[in-house]
Structure 1
Amino acid sequence: MFGKVEHELELEVAANEAWKLFGTLEIAKFVEKEMPQIFQKVELTEGDGALGTVLKLTFVPGIPGPPSYKEKFTKIDNEKRIKETEVVEGGYLELGFTLFRVRFEVIEKGEDSSIIKSTIEYELKEDHAANESLVSTQILANIAELAKNYLNKNKAPK
């Protein structure tokens, strides 16, 4: 079975500014520092932030979902401002998912505004259908909200 969930949040910064955070490894450093109640550790295990980079995400015990997994950067489009990662080891793959993809897309709205669209696409084996309840954009929504506050505080003066 295939599914998709999305979350959108308007940012009060230009799309290029938001992409500097979401389109690079900065987002990994950001979530590890700003979300210690969710992320115990975010480790770079392979690469430098380019296509093929692998991160290991370890969650604080008690967070719904798998305790950890590795994700790989499978798409980085700097022109369209889209970055996709897929779980490649552990985590959701051990829970019956055959695909668990997260996409961040920064959409230009105006000169000083943009939208961060977060999407999870997944495929799940029928005999693990109950695990579909583990799919949620809540953590992505939290990341977007914290990023919005951070970007607003740190935006370059006009």
Structure 2
Amino acid sequence: MAKEEKAQTEVSIGLEKLWQVMSKPKDLAAIMPEIVPEQVKEVQVIQGDGGVGTVLFTTPWSILPGSSGASYKEKIAELDGTAHVIAFEYVEGGFLDRGFTYFKTTIQLSAKGEGQTLVDVKISYESDIDEESTQRLTKTAVTSALNFLSGLEKRLSDAA
């Protein structure tokens, strides 16, 4: 059974504007290296049309704590425009090479007010490694997701 690590943040970008970027993998792939340049070197959409099943190939920088710098593939496991939910599941490399047998990041957006969005981040995982390493790596994943959201907020604010 999958375990979970959760976090929540608020961004000063309206729900629809944020969802417009989050729900388009090709657009997201193009700007990821700008949003989190210290984490991501390159992202490519290598399969699919942007919907569920679309596969992204990410080349990270090897300077991240605990990172091997190895590329990985994630597929869009969920994309719900009504609930504003997108989920990315690792299918090759990354956390799967670090002792996890399942690893998925789910992001849900909720309108909080004019120009404000509440963002829930959930990491779902199964692991064959010790609890201390598991906790360290899942917390790193949550931090990376929050850094991405902060960078996206800055980019969208600067573009306004």
Describe the SS at the equivalent of 2:75. strand
- Normalised by the length of structure 2, the TM-score is 0.86
Are 1:65 and 2:67 an aligned pair?
yes
Number of the residue aligned with 2:79: 76
Quote the offset at 1:71 in angstroms. Answer: 0.3
Describe the SS at the equivalent of 2:157. helix
Residue-by-residue CA offset, 1:80-133 (whole Å, 9 max, x unaligned): 0000010011222222211100111111112321112222111112xx125312
Q: Which moved more, 1:12-21 or 1:74-83?
A: 12-21
Quote the offset at 1:30 in angstroms. Answer: 1.8
**Contact 2:96–2:102 at 8 Å: present in 1 too?**
yes
Aligned residues: 153
**Contact 2:88–2:105 at 8 Å: present in 1 too?**
yes
**Contact 1:9–1:145 at 8 Å: present in 2 too?**
no
Number of the residue aligned with 1:17: 17
Quote the offset at 1:2 in angstroms. Answer: 4.1
Q: Distance in 1 between matches of 2:143 and 2:10?
A: 16
Please give the residue correspondences for 1:145-156 in structure 2 after superposition, counting only pairs within 5 Å. Answer: 145-155=150-160
Picking from 132, 143, 146, the partner of 1:138 is 143
- Normalised by the length of structure 1, the TM-score is 0.87
Number of the residue aligned with 1:54: 55
Q: Percent identity?
A: 25
Runs of 4+ in structure 1 off by over 4 angstroms are none
Are 1:99 and 2:74 an aligned pair?
no
In structure 1, list runs of 5 or more residues that go unmatched. Answer: none
In structure 2, list runs of 5 or more residues that go unmatched. Answer: none
